[in-house]
Amino acid sequence: MGHGIPVDFFREFADDRVPVGDVTLRVRHGGSGPPVLLLHGHPRTAATWHRVAPLLVAAGYTVICPDLRGYGASSVPPTTHDHAPYSKRAMAADLVGLLDHLGLRRAAVVGHDRGSYVVFRTAMDAPERVSRLAVLDGVPIGEALARCDARFAAEWWHWFFLARPEIPERVILADPDAWYRGSAGQMGPEAHAEFRRAVHDPATVGAMLEDYWAGLGVDRAHDDADRDAGRRIGCPTLVLWSSRDDMERLYGDPRAVWRAWADDVSGGPVDSGHHMAEEAPRELAARLCEFLRE
């Protein structure tokens, strides 16, 4: 297998459909030991973790990889005028429901890209369920928007384009492969095939756009309310970012942003492009294991 990791695609992982509230999540899980939830970003599915998950299992962890609501093979709930069904608060509640279903009181939570917003919201809304928090390639949505300048608008223009009515769906669905540009070489053939099935589904594309609508509205409101109330993350927090992406250009040291939100922040860059679980799985797994066993 690519990247020097000799393991079949999610071999010995259960692949379940788990009802949680108003959605059913596709969930892969395996291993034994302390539980770790891995959350993907846009426009990936849980398959993005297929090179990292077996390394964490080998290190002695139970690894749980759900597709977020509206993504991959998880269900697509109807939206509302405020897009709250796709808020990170709703997605965080899904994670709590998933832990309940699996009989787990607490877990470490790891999120990349859009998944980082979900694990952050979980740690804010349900701190008693989160033992450790790892955020990869992200700062809180409220922080990103408060700091938005011409550089951010130029580099992250998609945040604003995707949260427009009708036009993004028409553009994306005209040629999903050209828009999303995933490759089997980087992702692995099985993960790439799963990704393509998702991005060719109009309902999934619409749901992923709802995620961005929620980000600019209700998610920002939740972050701003927490900041105004002085709420903070009390558990150990790991901040990792891709050294060949744009986090440092936008924020300098992202750990400094997170120290305004969390009491115990560590981390640093990973030698990778944006999709670090696919591009640097061994380094990422090693960094996560070091953090999880501290």
What three-state secondary structure class fits 17? Answer: strand
In the chain the first and final C-alpha atoms are separated, in Å, by 30
At residue 275, the pLDDT reads: 97
Q: How far apart are CA 137 and CA 248, in angstroms?
A: 10
pLDDT, one tens digit per residue, over 58-84 is 999 999 999 999 999 999 999 999 999
Closest CA to 285 of 22, 1, 3: 3
The count of other CB atoms within 10 Å of the CB of residue 256 is 12
**What are the pLDDT digits (tens) for 213-231?**
999 999 999 999 999 999 9
Q: How confident is the model at residue 294 (pLDDT cuts 50, 70, 90)?
A: confident
In this structure, which amino acid lies at residue 126?
A
Q: What is the pairing mode between strands 23-30 and 35-39?
A: unpaired
| Two structure tokens written together for 251 | 């924020």
Condensed to tens digits (0 to 9), the pLDDT of residues 115-156 reads 999 999 999 999 999 999 999 999 999 999 999 999 999 999
For the chain, give every domain's residue range: 2-292
Which helix (H) or strand (E) element contains residue 18?
strand 14-20
Q: Give the active site residue among 67, 94, 113, 223.
A: 113
Structure tokens at 199: 């991005």
Band of residue 6 on the pLDDT scale cut at 50, 70, 90? very low
Q: Which residue in this structure is represented by tokens 């964490």?
A: 56
Q: Is 271 exposed, middle or buried (0-12, 13-18, 19+ CB in 10 A)?
A: exposed
Would you say residue 40 has pLDDT above 70? yes
Total residues found in the chain within this entry? 294
**Nearest Cα to 70, choosing from 26, 8, 135?**
26
Q: With beta carbons less than 8 A apart as the criterion, state whether 19 and 102 touch.
A: no
183 residue type, one letter:
S
Angular region, 181: left φ>0, alpha ψ -120 to 50, beta rest: left
Per-residue pLDDT, averaged over 18-41, amounts to 97
pLDDT of residue 8: 77
CA 153 to chain centre: 22
With 70 as the cut, is the pLDDT of residue 7 above it? no
* Four-way CATH pick for 2-292: 3.30.1330.20, 3.40.50.1820, 3.90.1070.10, 3.30.565.10: 3.40.50.1820
Instruction: Give the span between the Cα atoms of 177 and 173, in whole angstroms.
Output: 9
d(Cα 265, Cα 215) in Å, to the nearest integer?
A: 24
- The rounded distance, in Å, linking the Cα atoms of 116 and 121 is 9
Residue with token string 């033992």: 131
Q: Is the pLDDT of residue 89 over 60?
A: yes
- For residue 235 the two structure tokens come to 């558990």
pLDDT digit string, tens, across residues 171-204: 999 999 999 998 999 999 999 999 999 999 999 9
**Bridge partners, 27 (sequence order):** 16, 66
Catalytic, 113? Answer yes
The percentage of residues in the chain with a pLDDT greater than 90, rounded to a whole number, is: 96
Each residue's pLDDT tens digit, 265-286? 999 999 999 999 999 999 999 9
How many Å apart are CA 285 and CA 51, to the nearest integer?
A: 9
Strands of the 265-270 sheet, one edge to the other: 14-20, 23-30, 62-66, 35-39, 107-112, 130-136, 237-242, 265-270
275 is catalytic: no
